[in-house]
Structure 1
Amino acid sequence: MPGPLHRVSTATAVVVALAAMLGTGLYAAFAPAAAAAGPWLPLAVLLALVVALCNVSAIADLTAARPGGGGLVPTDLPPAAGRLAGVARLVARGAAAAAAAGVFGAYVLPSQPVPVAILAVLVVIGLNAAGVRISVSACRGLVAGAAVVLLMVTIVGAFPSGPSGPSAALESAAAAGTSAELPVATLQAAVPGSAFGVLTAAAFVFFAFAGTSRVAELGGSLRDPLRTVRRASTIAVVIAGVIFLAVSGALLNGLGVDRLSTSPTPLASLIDTGGSPALGVLVRVGAAVATGSALLAVLSRGSQNAARMARDGELPRFLARTGSRGTPWVSDLLGGLLVVLVTVLVGPVTALAVSACAVLVHYALLHGAALRLPGRSVRTLVVGVVGGVLCLVLAVSLPTWAPASTAVLLVAGWLLSTLVARTSRASGDDELPRPGETGERAA
């Protein structure tokens, strides 16, 4: 993260946000979304874009009202709801890390994705402990790489030369290896092409927009935080929305609904239809870099969230322990090991669905916090109601097992957090000292 003397401009903040959004979701979310929405996938993308813009507005309003706490720590909520928001964010990031690892493995070695995914998580644990973070220059490189991939996908999708349909779908699945999870098998609750299916697809696509919070996380590094959060986030979300629309259209045109919905690596499958091994390798390299970077970023910010909650007396204190480099090494290690466990037990689409559900709950609570702001405007009121309702609707529209699993995780996490908070208050020790802390609270 840039230091306080190197203020981040609006343009740079847009790049940072785009780098956060052009990751795992770009390379994996469109397959399960297509399985749910069918040919109406672009409509689902537009709906997810509307929800993302509502969330940007809520974050900006909260940041303007509470500059010290940022727009991602809902201090205007009752303590119990605030703890639920924190737990939802942790669950979302843990599941997102598992999804990133799974997608990384699927693109790098389709025949054995799980071992590769586990290795990637272990490497990232070491990098996090060493204090390695993604720089602004790296963000620019990620966005440029995504632009190259997008260009190839658009061209190949506009002029498809390979087969599409059920038989091609089965061939694609067989080529990917039996260990790869087929998204269509997880979407029994949605009727492809139905209104409910479009809602389900929008929830999956929204996972790709979850990086909208990245600008607010920059906090004091921004030149003009109150203005930049709204402006940069909105610009980044609109650009990402245009990109996702282009990708969804190219995938539908190049692969067809059946083949797209059963491909664990849809972008690579599309490029493979063009018969160019070199381009296929380039797309897989781009996917590996993007998902590996996403894994590093999500695990890092997730461990910082856990450490902050531990310092605030909402999680066990040992999670706040830091090493010589100032990184929360205990949270890094435990979080990484949990991600390894999830990666082994479930596939990337399952992890993606749980993450999407949890982050939608988190944003619904942020909208609730915005509605409680003193002197709120009519715009804040309307956006808060519409955005909050849409977040909850998308969350429950996911396949039944996703909201059910998320609910279990949220309840368990909330009970643990509440118990720890009460114990902390009873002992009269609400916060731990914060050695080596540099802006983690806003993360």
Structure 2
Amino acid sequence: MSTESASAPSLRRALSLPHAVIIGVGSMLGAGVFTVFGHAAAEAGGALLIALGLAAFVAFANATSSAQLAAVYPTSGGSYIFGREQLGPWRGFLAGWGFLIGKTASTAAMALTAAAYLVPGDSLGWPQRLAAAGIVLVIATINYRGVQRTATATAVIVGIVVAALAISIISGFTVSGAEVPLAEQLNPLLPETGVLGVVQAAGLFFFAFAGFARIATMGEEVTEPTKNIPRAILLALGTVLVLYVLISLMLLHTVGLQKLSGAPAPLAVAAGVVADESSTWSWLPVVIAPVAGLAACGALLALMTGIGRTTLAMARHDDLPNSLAAVHPKFGVPHRAEVILAAIVVVLVLTLDLRGAIGFSSFGVLLYYFIANWSALTQSAQVRRYPKALQIAGMIACVGIAFLQPLPAVIGGLIVFALGFGYRFWRQRKTVS
């Protein structure tokens, strides 16, 4: 069957507005906030805040599209459902498949990042990979037990991470800081890499924003969805944007652009500078690594939840095996989808390259958001909440950033998309016959 069955089991509406906001914030405050600023500084130079602003605008355009659509389609699946209802089954499948492959790769990357921070070692060897597999199994167990446990665990993690980031920001501004004043570092002129450098830095920052639409993929579990989903998406995005601006300013003040550029763990560098200058903060470097690992675990928790719900939606519409649409009678979660996802991610963390996973993830997810913007663009005036210009800008930005990813990620993404379309074509032919 090509449409959702009226008798399909439903998920429980157990997430209030605060719960939804927390899950959105937890989805964004992952490994990106602890790694991306150094790489973005290397690309954008003194135009770092311009790149952050560009990424924030793209995220805002995508978030408003997701919010506008989720208010009309408050069910599991996010842009898969949006694309299917507004544009047709094939473009809906493009969004769903892009989300699944992109976010599954991102899930593996988050688990590897968490293990890299939590397990000592100079590289991702077997101790880190086995730890990553263990982290995936723990997170999958939490998700399996129900969405309220997911929200509670996310709330605890978000609280710890936000507290640590707040302490990092405050402590950074208490020291004398870099030799070059902050105002001089924020040079609006383009870096040596030109406009491309700023755009690529914006792409890196977008990775740190990714996750704002996770609330939309869980639309079937949010209370008063028409009101709460749009509010939660924009509140979560706004909260994270404020944090990122403050972190950027603190890093430039404390570390300086030269030392910040290319630093793989910029907040750890800043903590070291603060500890050297003030004995009051001597303990700060000790807590950064575990908090970074915890943040990655929080993002992993929300990622796996969103993937399970999109899998559920695609199975309901016969784009994936129907058995994956099963909902656990006690815990109210798509338990078969959760188990299979955990098994796939365990295999990936034992075999995958971290950098390749991030590039591949970005390609798939940006095409997912392209469909979200396109879908919102076709909505009628009666349900429109935001101007069409935002959706057009979002579509252009998503395609541009996606195809500016490293060539292996683009080629690999196109191949996997082709395989997905081939699978759906075969499945449709098999159903007809």
What corresponds to 2:405 in structure 1?
A: 398
- Give the Å deviation of 1:207: 1.8
Unmatched tracts of structure 1, length 5 or more: 166-189, 428-443
What corresponds to 1:99 in structure 2?
A: 109
What corresponds to 1:411 in structure 2?
A: 418
What corresponds to 1:354 in structure 2?
A: 360
Task: Report the CA distance shift for 1:202/1:146 in structure 2 as closer, same or farther (over 3 A).
Answer: same
Which aligned pairs between 1:262-281 and structure 2 lie closer than 5 A?
262-275=262-275, 278-281=283-286
Q: Distance in 1 between matches of 2:36 and 2:238?
A: 18
Q: Indicate conservation of the 8 Å contact 2:97/2:420, yes or no.
A: yes
- Give the Å deviation of 1:105: 2.0
Return the letter of the residue paired with 1:50. F
Q: Indicate conservation of the 8 Å contact 2:308/2:337, yes or no.
A: yes
Q: Indicate conservation of the 8 Å contact 1:315/1:421, yes or no.
A: no
Which aligned pairs between 1:2-401 and structure 2 lie closer than 5 A?
3-4=12-13, 8-9=16-17, 11-67=18-74, 71-72=78-79, 73-74=81-82, 75-111=85-121, 112-114=123-125, 115-125=127-137, 127-129=139-141, 131-132=144-145, 134-158=149-173, 193-257=193-257, 259-275=259-275, 278-317=283-322, 319-320=324-325, 328=334, 331-375=337-381, 379-401=386-408
Return the letter of the residue paired with 1:90. L
- Give the Å deviation of 1:26: 1.3
What corresponds to 2:185 in structure 1?
A: none
What corresponds to 2:187 in structure 1?
A: none
Q: Indicate conservation of the 8 Å contact 1:89/1:362, yes or no.
A: yes
Percent of pairs identical after alignment? 28
Q: Deviations over 1:5-34 (max 9, x none)?
A: x5613x443233212211222122323323
TM norm structure 2? 0.80
Q: Distance in 2 between matches of 1:195 and 1:97?
A: 31
Please give the root-mean-square deviation of Cα atoms over the aligned residues, in Å.
3.3
- Give the Å deviation of 1:408: 2.4
Select between 329-338 and 142-151 the one with higher mean Cα deviation.
Answer: 329-338
2:87 alignment partner, SS class: coil
Task: Report the CA distance shift for 1:304/1:233 in structure 2 as closer, same or farther (over 3 A).
Answer: closer
Q: Indicate conservation of the 8 Å contact 1:92/1:358, yes or no.
A: yes
Select between 49-58 and 346-355 the one with higher mean Cα deviation.
Answer: 346-355
Matched, 1:426 2:432: yes
Q: Distance in 2 between matches of 1:81 and 1:146?
A: 37
Q: Distance in 1 between matches of 2:166 and 2:371?
A: 37
Q: Distance in 2 between matches of 1:265 and 1:304?
A: 32
Return the letter of the residue paired with 1:152. I
Return the letter of the residue paired with 2:173. A
Q: Deviations over 1:267-323 (max 9, x none)?
A: 223212334663222122211221112223322432342343234221245555677
Q: Deviations over 1:217-262 (max 9, x none)?
A: 4424444322222222212212211111122232334334454444
1:273 alignment partner, SS class: helix
Q: Indicate conservation of the 8 Å contact 1:28/1:266, yes or no.
A: yes
2:274 alignment partner, SS class: coil
Number of residue pairs matched by the alignment: 400
Q: Indicate conservation of the 8 Å contact 1:38/1:193, yes or no.
A: no
Q: Distance in 2 between matches of 1:69 and 1:62?
A: 12
Task: Report the CA distance shift for 1:217/1:258 in structure 2 as closer, same or farther (over 3 A).
Answer: same
Q: Distance in 1 between matches of 2:410 and 2:221?
A: 36
Q: Distance in 2 between matches of 1:354 and 1:385?
A: 24
Q: Indicate conservation of the 8 Å contact 2:102/2:360, yes or no.
A: yes
Task: Report the CA distance shift for 1:153/1:192 in structure 2 as closer, same or farther (over 3 A).
Answer: farther
Task: Report the CA distance shift for 1:162/1:87 in structure 2 as closer, same or farther (over 3 A).
Answer: same
2:379 alignment partner, SS class: coil
Q: Distance in 2 between matches of 1:192 and 1:102?
A: 33
Q: Deviations over 1:85-122 (max 9, x none)?
A: 10100012112112211211221134154432442333
- Give the Å deviation of 1:337: 4.1
- Give the Å deviation of 1:366: 0.9
What corresponds to 1:439 in structure 2?
A: none
Q: Indicate conservation of the 8 Å contact 1:164/1:259, yes or no.
A: no
Q: Distance in 2 between matches of 1:3 and 1:322?
A: 10
What corresponds to 1:178 in structure 2?
A: none
Q: Deviations over 1:408-440 (max 9, x none)?
A: 2222223223322332x225xxxxxxxxxxxxx
Q: Indicate conservation of the 8 Å contact 1:159/1:254, yes or no.
A: no
Return the letter of the residue paired with 1:128. A
Q: Distance in 1 between matches of 2:47 and 2:193?
A: 6
2:16 alignment partner, SS class: coil
